[in-house]
Amino acid sequence: MNKILIVEDEFSISNFMKTVLEGDGYTVEVATCAAQARAALEKMEFSAMLLDLGLPDADGLELLRELRQRYGLPVIVVSARTEESEKVAALDSGADDYITKPFNTNLLISRCNNLVNSRILLQEKFSKQPQAFVQML
């Protein structure tokens, strides 16, 4: 079961994203601030995280760098900031993808599926490698 963590302080947005993703078969947890996000990440494993950069208790980019480094999970930034420089800054800070608000629901699902599937492929590839190595000997 693929689990997604939504980090978003506006209930209407997090609730909307949760409904959309659950409709596509994901299990969804919501954190409304940086502290809750850290607590959720300590408690369980997620396939990906949707991160709002405008949180009440953290600088978005700093939090992105911290969580990416500590937990190594794929991150899609969901932000109202539409400038190219903002997107570049987020990607430079470790975001795997960037969605601007307001977003299209199909786009949200496609981006999540891509990210989660590419991670699964990568994991399969790495888990098969030792065997490939043995066969070579």
Whichever of 55 and 116 has its CB closer to Ca ion, that residue is: 55
Report the nearest approach of Ca ion to the CB of residue 122 (Å): 30
Q: Is 86 in the site for Ca ion (CB under 5 A)?
A: no
Provide the phi-psi class of 48: left if phi over 0, else alpha when psi is between -120 and 50, else beta.
beta
46: nearest Cα among 87, 10, 6, 4: 4
Minimum Å gap between C-beta 113 and Ca ion is: 24
Phi, psi of 74 (to 5 degrees): -65, 140
Q: Whole-number minimum distance, CB 24 to Ca ion, in Å?
A: 23
Among the listed residues 16, 54, 105, 119, the single contact to Ca ion using CB under 5 A: 54
Of the candidate residues 52, 86, 96, 97, the single one contacting Ca ion (CB under 5 A): 52
96 token code pair? 């795997």
* List of residues 6+ apart from 63 with CB closer than 8 A: 34, 37, 51, 55
Comparing CB distances to Ca ion, the nearer of 12 and 85 is 12
Is 52 or 97 the residue whose CB approaches Ca ion more closely? 52
Count CB neighbours of 40 within 10 A. Answer: 18
Contacts of 37 (CB under 8 A, 6+ apart): 5, 7, 31, 49, 51, 63, 67
Using CB under 5 A as the binding rule, whether residue 9 contacts Ca ion is answered as yes
Minimum distance, C-beta of residue 88 to Ca ion, in the bound complex (Å): 20
Q: Which C-beta is closer to Ca ion: that of 61 or that of 114? A: 61
> By the criterion CB under 5 A, which residues form the site for Ca ion?
9, 52, 54
